[in-house]
Amino acid sequence: MKIQANDPCWCGSGEKYKKCHKEFDLSLINYQKEGFSIIPHKFLKNSTDIEGIRKSGLITRAILDEVKSIIKPGISTEDINTFVHNYTLDNGAIPAPLHYKKFPKSCCTSVNECICHGIPSPKHILKDGDIINVDITSILNGYHSDSSRMYAVGEISESRQKLVDVAKECLMVGLNQVKPFTRLNNIGDAIEEYAKSFNYSVVRDLCGHGIGKQFHEEPEVVHYSQKTKKGLLLIPGMVFTIEPMINEGTYKCKYLNDGWTVLTSDGKMSAQWEHTILVTENGYEILA
Ligand code: MF3
Ligand code: CO
Ligand code: CO
């Protein structure tokens, strides 16, 4: 049954529909007529959800801040996992990766040619000159927040530093496209154009994602160009990650038979940074 003017609004505000999201929904119909797709309402976050993800994000960000001080040559990726696991629990949160679709650890540690989903291991010892992505997802009071950063192990080469820097700039370039009532695909268009200007490639097999009470939900956020369609419309209340994986060589991936580890197919370096972001009334807010 279609929602009536005096019904409570679908957003959970407790207001009548006519006083809350009715006008908003009518404006969306016009965008649909122009050829945009609209995300189902159930994926839009209300103020309770947003506050929940924001609080979760504080823990995720604190872990990424703190982990910097333990990363040095000679430690194992398992040491990083132990630190992340304990820090998360000490702060009343749950590490989302642990047992997610059978992932065995509490964070992802992706070194050098590992694109993403590297599994921490006591056998993997970090060496001087390595680059590593640590990807953290915390759950606090049922709300997920997902963010990742790159770290240098000891002294790294100029070319690795450049890749790490440009990958971070790719995330920022994508972020700057986030405005309500514009194309979601502007994000991928801008990231691919920027990466290509340095002769780097953008991974296509893995995408950003909506996030909230679920780890991965709608929308899918591609980081490469999909020029043709209007595609999905950005609207206030959408929360999703942007997490471009930028490669020195080919964008093609190779998969280990552990069910998780994703490597570059040519063995060249890869770098990734990730934020969880909210689409606001006039732009975006970084939640993690
Ligand atoms: N945090 C990753 C992402 O950015 C997902 C990791 S799935 C896991 O989406 F199971 F490996 F944790
Ligand atoms: Co993510
Ligand atoms: Co992540």
Tens digits of per-residue pLDDT, 164-193? 999 999 999 999 999 999 999 999 999 999
- Over 90: is that where the pLDDT of 238 sits? yes
Residues with CB under 6 Å of ligand 1 are 97, 100-101, 103, 108, 117, 135, 137, 146, 241, 243, 260, 274
Q: What is the pLDDT of residue 252?
A: 98
- Over 80: is that where the pLDDT of 1 sits? no
Backbone angles phi, psi at 143, to 5 degrees: -105, 130
Ligand 1 nearest-atom number relative to CA 96? 12
Give the pTM: 0.97
Minimum CA distance residue for ligand 1 atom 10: 97
Pick from 10-14, 112-116, 156-160, 195-199: least confident: 10-14
Report which bound ligand comes closest to the CA of 103.
Answer: 1
Residue from 84, 100, 145 to probe ligand 1 pocket by mutation (most atoms less than 8 Å from CB): 100
Q: What is the mean pLDDT of residues 201-220?
A: 98
* The token pair that represents 196 in the structure block: 């290509």
What is the 274 CA–ligand 3 centroid distance (Å)? Answer: 6
- Over 80: is that where the pLDDT of 243 sits? yes
Q: Which residue segments constitute the domains of the chain, with CATH numbers given?
A: 37-286 (3.90.230.10)
What is the 277 CA–ligand 1 centroid distance (Å)? Answer: 16
Biggest distance spanned by C-alpha atoms of the chain? 65
What is the 186 CA–ligand 1 centroid distance (Å)? Answer: 24
Q: What is the mean pLDDT of residues 216-239?
A: 95
Minimum CA distance residue for ligand 1 atom 7: 97
Q: What is the pLDDT of residue 2?
A: 84
Percent of the chain with pLDDT over 70: 100
Look at residues 234, 275, 268, 235 and name the one whose alpha carbon lies nearest to residue 251.
Answer: 268
Ligand 1 nearest-atom number relative to CA 103? 10
- Over 90: is that where the pLDDT of 227 sits? no
- Over 90: is that where the pLDDT of 228 sits? no
257-275 per-position pLDDT tens digit? 999 999 999 999 999 999 9
Q: What is the pLDDT of residue 229?
A: 81
Buried b (16+ CB within 10 A) or exposed e, 18-45: eebbbeeeeebeeeeeeebeebeeebbb
Q: What is the mean pLDDT of residues 73-92?
A: 98
Look at residues 50, 42, 38 and name the one whose alpha carbon lies nearest to residue 235.
Answer: 38
